[in-house]
Amino acid sequence: MYANYFFYSTTLGRDVSQDIFIPENVEDLEQKNIVYLLHDSGKIYSQIARDYQLDNLLSQAVVVIPEGGSSFFLDLKYDKKYESFLSDELPKQLESAFLPLGLKDYTVHLVGIGSGGFGALNLMFNPKLTITSTTSIFGKHDLEANLKTYPKLRNGLIEKPDLLEKMTDRQTAASVSLFSDEENKYDQHLTEQLVQNKVSATIHTEYQNTTQDINRILKQLQF
């Protein structure tokens, strides 16, 4: 089942919509999973299902693709608090709207592409969420470097989260998979920090940042 779920967000102060895909055999799944699939800046949420192959995800989970603009799924000034929206309001709205599915009993997984990968890693430390696994696909994790490309993001930040600092100072029960370029030293260091902090983390560098390879990655994810 597909639904474009539309409601007024008190967190964002406006109407929002997100794509939701519910497997036909959802009640028969051995493990109940919900995946938040976070898009890259420069794309809109509704492009994800058109640009990428989601069959593998849909065979295992309810898939929710929320809108995040170019926010990196962070809380920004002027009521654009996307992290708060994702960690608090959206789960409650989904539980209310799709109550028969009992979504509160599902294990939660985060999958992010590009800036959505940053958002996924940042969200897995949010105390309002209990995350089982986090996958970042060519994530734009070095926020300081990316602020040069996204000046609106730089001007809108309430605070500037440093993922390396979070990886060192905070605990998470989520397992982490990073798909990255083999020359990306930041991601390699990020993985090392996670492992040192006793997080189950792996980095994969055998793929290229292309639609074809992103689809290959999406096809192999298991929850």
Residue 113, pLDDT above cutoff 70: yes
Assign 18 to helix, strand or coil.
strand
Structure tokens at 37: 């699939």
pLDDT in tens, 120-131: 999 998 889 999
Q: How far apart are CA 157 and CA 74, in angstroms?
A: 8
In 89-184 the beta strands, taken as DSSP E runs, fall at: 107-113, 131-137, 175-179
pLDDT in tens, 140-182: 999 888 888 887 788 888 887 888 887 776 667 789 999 999 8
Residue whose C-alpha is closest to residue 14's, from 89, 97, 65? 89
Q: Which amino acid appears at position 77 of this protein?
A: K
Q: Which CATH class is domain 2-220?
A: alpha beta
pLDDT at res. 79: 66
Residue 99, pLDDT above cutoff 70: no
Residue whose C-alpha is closest to residue 70's, from 113, 116, 111, 110? 116
Domain spans in the chain, listed from the N-terminal domain onward: 2-220
Q: How far apart are CA 108 and CA 89, in angstroms?
A: 15
Residue whose C-alpha is closest to residue 111's, from 138, 75, 92, 85? 138
Q: How far apart are CA 117 and CA 139, in angstroms?
A: 4
Assign 12 to helix, strand or coil.
coil
Structure confidence at residue 88 as a pLDDT band (50, 70, 90): very high
DSSP tag of 89:
I
* Alpha helices in 59-114, H assignment, sequence order: 82-84, 90-97
Q: How far apart are CA 78 and CA 152, in angstroms?
A: 12
pLDDT at res. 151: 79
In this prediction, residues 25-45 reach a mean pLDDT of: 85
Residue whose C-alpha is closest to residue 193's, from 121, 108, 144? 121
pLDDT at res. 197: 84
> 22 and 95 in contact (C-beta within 8 Å)?
no
